[in-house]
Amino acid sequence: MEHNSRAFSRFGSRECNGYFPAAPCDMVYYPGGDHGMLVRGFNQQSHLAFTSIMAFPSRLFVSKKRTRQVIVSGLLLTLFFTVMEYFCLGLSTPEYLGYDRDSVGQKNADCGTKREAISPSISGIPLSVESKWSRKARSTQNGFQGKGLALNLTRLSEKDKLIYKIGYETHKVNQLVSDMIPLRREIPLEIPECQHFVETLRTSDLPTASIVMPMHNEMWSTLMRTVFSILDAGPYHLIQEIVFVDDASTNDGNRFGWWMSSFQHMFRGVIVVLDAHCEVHKGWLEPLLHRVQQDDRVVAIPDINEINFDTYEVSFTNSSSVAVGGLTMDMLYSWQGRRADLGRHRQAVTDPIPTPTHLGCCFAVSRRNFERLGRYDTGLKIWGCENQELSFKVWMCGGRLEIIPCSHVAHLYRKSFPYTWGKNSGFTHIQNCMRVAEVWMDDYKQFYYDRIGLTPEKVNIGSISAQKTLRSSLQCRSFHWYVQEVYPSLFAPFNSTAMGSISSRAVPASCLQMESHSSGWKKELSIQRCYAGDNRQYFVLTSTGQIRRDEECVVYSAETGSITTQWCEGIRDQSHWIYTKENMIASVSTNLIRNSHNRCMSLSHDNRSVDMKPCKRRDSRQKWHWPRK
C-alpha cells in the first residue's frame, strides 16, 4: 500500500530517548494533526507487542519494519503510554493502581529511578520489568483472587460518592470499587482435574494466539485489569500479540462495529477475541489453543463466569455445572442448563461440551477457519447478532462450537448498556438480526418477524447477496438440520393456537408483561402500557396448553394464588391453559371452565397486575384480546 513516508518518524534513536524514554524502538509514530498514531504488530522472542486498531477504514498505515496493514487510533496512543506509565509505579492515580493513598507520594518520588530500570532498547514490553508493574494483590487486600468489595455508601466521602454516582451513570458499574481493588488479582483455576490437564499439555507444541480486544469508552481500571490478567496468566510465549480494537471511543463519535475493520488486520496463529472488561483465570489460554489445534474447524469457547457489577466479585462455576448457550425467538442469547444430549459423549470433566450458540465475549478460532467462514458479515453494525451469525454458520457449515470447561474467563455484566448504538439506536440491533435471519434461519425466520412485528420489506437491511453466496459455496446445511441435530430443545412455536400480546378488553392499551428485572428463573407478571414490538409482552399458547415465552412458562400456583413464569422443563399440570371462545384465559388443572374450582386470569382492581379468580363469563376484567392462529 502506498503511503507518504514523510508522515512517519521514529521514536528517537536506538535507545529510544527522543520522544518517550520507555517506548520500544520499532514503533512508528504518525503525527496526524489531532490524532497521534501508534503502530505495533509483532512478537519478538519473549517480548509482548501491543497493536492499536481503530474502526476508520480510511486511515490505513503501514509500519516501516513490518508491512502488515493496520488501522490505527490516536486514542490508543494514550492507552499505550498508560501501560508504560504503569511500569513506573505512581504516575497513574492510586485508584487505578489499588494502592493505599498515603503511600503514593513515596512511589512518585521513586518514579525516576524505576523508569531507569526499564530497558528501552527492546521491542514490546520486556518481561524483565514484571516486578515494576502494578503489584499483585495480597491475601489481605480487597479483591484478592476475585473476592468482592461491598461498600457502605453512608461512610463514603463526598468525593467518593461523586465517583460512585458518575461511574454508574457513565459505565453502569461501580467504578469506585473497580478503582479501589488491585489491578492484578490473579484468579486461580480451582478444578483439580483441570489443573492436571493444563499441566500435562506441552505448551511448546501449541499454536500462538493473537488476542483481540474490542473496546468502546472502556473504563480504564477495568480495561487494565483485563490486560494484567492476560499477562499474569500467560504463558508469554503463546501470546503473539494483544490487539486493542477501538471503536470510536468518544462520547459523540460514530459507531462502525469493530469487526468491520479489525479483521482486515492479518492476525497470526489462533485468533482469540476477548471483551475488554474480563478477567482470565490461570490456565485459560492453553485449553483453547489445544482444542483448536486438535480440530481446526472447532470454535473454542471458555466457561464464562460472572464479575458482579457492584462488588466486582467473581462467581466461579466448576466444570460439572457448565451452562450452554441458547437462543430466544427475539434473536437474543440465553443461558441453558446442562443437557444430557449435549454431553452424552463426554467421558471426563475436561472434555469439551457442544453448545448451540455462544455469548460472543470470548472465543478462539483458527485464522484459516475464520477466513473460510467469511469472517463476520461486514453489513452488521456496532453490536448485535454477530454471535448468532457465527454460531449458525459454524454448525451449519461443517464446524463445531464447543465450551472448553477447563478454560475460565470472568466477564463483567453491566446493569445496562453504557453506550449508544448510533443515530438509529435500538433499530440497529433489529437490522443486524434481520440480516442474520434472512441468510441463515430459513422458514424459522418468520417467528422472529412475528416477535418484533416487522418484515425485511419495512426495514433496510442492505444487500445480503454475498452472505447467501457464501452459504451456497460452503454447501451449508439447513436451519432445520441445525435445530434437529444441534438444538432440539429450541422452542419454535409451530402449531400454536394464539401468539402475540395479551391485552385487556376492560382497560384498553393495557398488556400482560413479564418483568425482566425479577431475579432467577421465576419472574413476575404485571400489566403495563402496550408497546408494539416489546418482546416482554409476547406470549404463545402452544397446542399442548402452555403459555410460553421461549423457555419460560406462565404458571399458576393454587396453593399461593400467584402467577409467575418459570423454566418450562419439569413443570407439572399447573401450567396448562385454554383460551376460550369467550376470550377468557383459564387454568385447566380441573379441566372444565364451568367447574366452580377453576380460575381465570383477571385484571387486578388497581390495573397493575393479574389475579386468578373464579371464572365469570360476564366479568369484563377476565376478557382478553390475544391474536389467534
Q: Give the model's pLDDT for residue 218.
A: 84
3 state SS of 418: coil
Return the percentage of the chain with pLDDT > 70, whole number.
67
Tally of structural domains, the chain: 1
Q: Is there a domain that residue 571 lies in?
A: yes
Average pLDDT over residues 203-216: 90
Which residues does 595 contact at the CB level (< 8 Å), separation at least 6? none
The answer to whether residue 282 scores a pLDDT higher than 70 is yes
Distance of CA 353 to the CA centre of its chain: 19
Q: Give the model's pLDDT for residue 332.
A: 87
Q: Is there a domain that residue 506 lies in?
A: yes
CB atoms < 10 A from the CB of 320, how many? 10
Using a 10 angstrom Cβ sphere, with 0-12 exposed, 13-18 middle and 19 or more buried, the burial of residue 318 is middle
Lowest mean pLDDT among 108-122, 183-197, 390-404, 458-472: 108-122
- Tell me if 343 sits within 8 A of 446, measured CB to CB: no
Q: Is there a domain that residue 103 lies in?
A: no
Q: Give the model's pLDDT for residue 24.
A: 32
The residues pairing with 279 across neighbouring beta strands, listed in sequence order, are 410
Using a 10 angstrom Cβ sphere, with 0-12 exposed, 13-18 middle and 19 or more buried, the burial of residue 571 is middle
CB atoms < 10 A from the CB of 443, how many? 11
SS (H, E, C) 42-103: CCECCEECEEEEECCCCCEEECCCCCCEEECCCHHHHHHHHHHHHHCCCCCCHHHHCCCHHH
Domain that holds residue 581: 498-625
Q: Give the model's pLDDT for residue 37.
A: 26
The answer to whether residue 138 scores a pLDDT higher than 60 is yes
Average pLDDT over residues 60-68: 28
Q: Is there a domain that residue 505 lies in?
A: yes
Q: Which of 78-82, 130-134, 351-355 has the highest mean pLDDT?
A: 351-355
What is the amino acid identity at position 103? S
C-alpha cell at 450: 412475528
**What is the phi/psi pair of residue 409, to 5°?**
-130, 130
Q: Give the model's pLDDT for residue 456.
A: 83
Task: Kindly report the average pLDDT of the chain as a whole number.
Answer: 74
Q: 313-327: per-residue pLDDT in tens?
A: 998 766 566 789 999
Q: With bands split at pLDDT 50, 70 and 90, how would you rate the model's confidence at 620?
A: very high
Distances 43 to 50, 52, 67, 81, 129 between C-alpha atoms, Å: 9, 14, 14, 19, 17
Q: Is there a domain that residue 226 lies in?
A: no
- Tell me if 331 sits within 8 A of 438, measured CB to CB: no
Using a 10 angstrom Cβ sphere, with 0-12 exposed, 13-18 middle and 19 or more buried, the burial of residue 124 is buried
Q: Give the model's pLDDT for residue 556.
A: 87
Return the percentage of the chain with pLDDT > 90, whole number.
38
Q: What gap in Å lies between CA 548 and CA 568, rounded to an integer?
A: 8
At CA 234, angle to CA 231 and CA 236, rounded to 5? 90
3 state SS of 162: helix
- Of residues 605 and 347, which shows the higher confidence score? 605
Alpha helices (runs of H) in 295-414, residue ranges in sequence order: 367-372, 386-396
Q: 77-101: per-residue pLDDT in tens?
A: 334 444 444 443 333 333 333 333 3
3 state SS of 35: strand
Q: 220-275: per-residue pLDDT in tens?
A: 889 999 999 999 998 989 998 888 877 656 544 444 444 444 555 556 789 999 99
Q: Is there a domain that residue 610 lies in?
A: yes
The answer to whether residue 338 scores a pLDDT higher than 70 is no
What is the amino acid identity at position 115? R
The answer to whether residue 48 scores a pLDDT higher than 70 is no
Q: Give the model's pLDDT for residue 90.
A: 32
Average pLDDT over residues 122-133: 39
The answer to whether residue 341 scores a pLDDT higher than 80 is no
Average pLDDT over residues 454-482: 93
Q: Give the model's pLDDT for residue 521.
A: 57
Q: With bands split at pLDDT 50, 70 and 90, how would you rate the model's confidence at 442?
A: very high
* For residue 235, cis peptide bond before it (omega within 30 degrees of 0): yes
Q: With bands split at pLDDT 50, 70 and 90, how would you rate the model's confidence at 120?
A: very low
CB atoms < 10 A from the CB of 209, how many? 25
What is the amino acid identity at position 414? R
Q: Is there a domain that residue 582 lies in?
A: yes
Q: 554-585: per-residue pLDDT in tens?
A: 988 877 778 888 888 767 655 789 999 999 99
Q: What gap in Å lies between CA 362 and CA 214, rounded to an integer?
A: 11
Q: With bands split at pLDDT 50, 70 and 90, how would you rate the model's confidence at 279?
A: very high
The answer to whether residue 478 scores a pLDDT higher than 90 is yes
Q: Which of 396-405, 487-496, 591-600 has the highest mean pLDDT?
A: 396-405
CB atoms < 10 A from the CB of 259, how many? 23
Q: Give the model's pLDDT for residue 134.
A: 61
Q: With bands split at pLDDT 50, 70 and 90, how would you rate the model's confidence at 58?
A: very low
The residues pairing with 400 across neighbouring beta strands, listed in sequence order, are 298
Q: Is there a domain that residue 207 lies in?
A: no
CATH number, domain of 537, equals 2.80.10.50
**Among 172, 363, 396, which residue's Cα sits nearest to residue 275?**
363
C-alpha cell at 464: 445480503
Distance of CA 24 to the CA centre of its chain: 33
The answer to whether residue 303 scores a pLDDT higher than 50 is yes
Using a 10 angstrom Cβ sphere, with 0-12 exposed, 13-18 middle and 19 or more buried, the burial of residue 408 is buried
Q: 382-401: per-residue pLDDT in tens?
A: 778 899 999 999 999 999 99
